Chain A
Amino acid sequence: MGVVTFDAEDRWNAFVTLCRKAEHRDDGPLAGVRVAVKDNISTAGIQTTCGSAILKGYVPPYDAHVVTLLREAGAAIVGKTNMDEFGMGTTTESSAYGPTTNPVDVSRVPGGSSGGSAAAIAGGLVDMALGTDTGGSIRCPAAFCGIVGLKPTYGRTSRYGLIAYANSLEGVGPMGRTVGDVSRLFSAIAGHDPRDATSLDRPYDHTPAPEVKGLRIGVPAEFFGKGVDPAVAAEVRAAIETFTELGAEVVECTMPSMQYALAAYYVTCTCEASSNLARFDGVRYGPGADTIRSWHDAYQDHRKEGFGAEVRRRIMLGTFALSAGYYGKYYGKAQAARKNVREDFARLFADVDVVAGPTMPTTAFKLGEKSDPLSMYLADILTVPANLAGVPAISVPCGTVDGLPVGLQLIGPHFGEERIIDAAAAFEEVRA
């Protein structure tokens, strides 16, 4: 066993918990590599809070499957990164442990919800980090902080030990400074786990091959629609042009289901959250509820004090959308819209190899800028389709607007990680 001394100064509030002495195995592909883990992924013996006061002080008795795999690969887990509470947000401002700032410009947010992981990498504190992506929570902070982030195919990484928010949408994924780092980290964490019924036996053993000659790249018009900053759109268009110069073929296409994707996503994730977060009652973990009072009184007060406004809002929205008389109007329709998104991708991937567009419609927001929940939700429009369909998507830096990073998003068919990683590597090589 080796020990990594982690004495980095966290100027961005990227971490909730630091492990100053991180033990690691001496063998393995990630031996001695400093890796940060998002704080909604269970780590035995290390506090895991989900960015929430309701889990302050909670120390899991077991490792998430991806953490077991990280340890086996020799990684040194140097800390748990800050995040929007329970993964609900696009800025990392809803954390009970204070906001994380963007190392590129500290007056701005790092994106979210995996903002701590992105800031830790962009700030040079770690080489790689794990994030989770429910509606863009890896790709958004990757884009805002100028790093690389991969949301894998649903089921390609185990969710065992990932504290659930919206379990039909979310998954664990790798983040790093380069496509190569992301590929290495993904090799360590992908694979089958019998403890997760949605886990698939598709390990990843691939070295990026930066080659796009003959690749057909679909560019849906809807990815450049209303709300996308023209300067961001221009950077991404220029990036896509680079692929043409490398011998790829760009195909203009459409994705009509995008019109309903965001509403379908928010109905689905709030419904699932209302169920998943029912377990936080102060009885089994985290600060305790008052056992002298009656159940509902204690439970309600405990959740009022322990959950922040955004989490409470989403639990209530989901409760409402699933209530008698509204299920068909909201949840039923959201699932129909979700099916349309899946079918749109299937249609596109019958003709093209990857789909490309911006990761986010704008560059990083100013801290405090997105005070209205709906305006923040709208920022997820370009990332949620991949989660609804369960397909893989990567964000790779492709330029700047006013000094702030812009992300290029490449989406692939199910199990198309190798393909989008190769395309991202080719782009990175040319732009380096």
Chain B
Amino acid sequence: MVSETEVAHIAILADIGISNEELAEFTGQFNAILEYFDLLDQVEAGERPEAGTTNVFRDDDIVASLPLDDVVKGAAESEDGYIKAPRVVL
């Protein structure tokens, strides 16, 4: 079982805003779903699932990319070919 306080904390970790009105409903739904997930407790862990698999890498070659103008076109705010973002330093 997770509490409303924990759900509010998860929302902060996930950067998902959540209102006080939503919190109770979300917590109830969360607990019903997590209770269903408890089924997985019965599964034998066994060897690591990724055992025997390999990563697929490509050579780090520089290839043509999209034109800069096209890339910044989707951004709400851009300046001199750069995309404007919210402040990170307070």
A binding-site residues for B, Cβ under 8 Å = 58-62, 194, 197-198, 259-260, 263-264, 266-267, 274, 278, 281-301, 303-305, 307, 309, 312-313, 315-317, 319-321, 323, 328-330, 332-340, 372-374, 377
A62 and B67 alpha carbons, distance in the complex (Å) = 11
A313 touches B43 (CB 8 A): no
| Nearest CB of chain A from residue B18's CB, rounded to whole Å | 7
Judged by a CB distance under 8 angstroms, whether B24 is at the interface is no
Range of interface residues on B (Cβ < 8 Å)? 35 or more
Inter-chain contacts of B73 with A (CB < 8 A): 59, 61
A260 and B14 alpha carbons, distance in the complex (Å) = 26
A319 touches B13 (CB 8 A): yes
Inter-chain contacts of A292 with B (CB < 8 A): 86-87
Judged by a CB distance under 8 angstroms, whether B60 is at the interface is no
Judged by DSSP, the binding face of B is: loop
With A260-B39, A334-B40, A335-B49 as given contacts, are A312 and B74 in contact (CB-CB < 8 Å)? no
B30 touches A333 (CB 8 A): no
B binding-site residues for A, Cβ under 8 Å = 2, 7, 10-19, 22, 26, 29-30, 32-34, 36-37, 39-46, 49-50, 56-58, 66-67, 70-71, 73-77, 83-88, 90
Inter-chain contacts of A309 with B (CB < 8 A): 22
A11 and B16 alpha carbons, distance in the complex (Å) = 35
A299 touches B86 (CB 8 A): yes
A304 touches B14 (CB 8 A): no
A337 touches B40 (CB 8 A): yes
A260 touches B88 (CB 8 A): no
B40 touches A266 (CB 8 A): no
B87 touches A294 (CB 8 A): yes
A61 touches B74 (CB 8 A): yes
| Nearest CB of chain A from residue B12's CB, rounded to whole Å | 8
B56 touches A197 (CB 8 A): yes
B58 touches A197 (CB 8 A): yes
A315 nearest CB neighbor, chain B only? B14
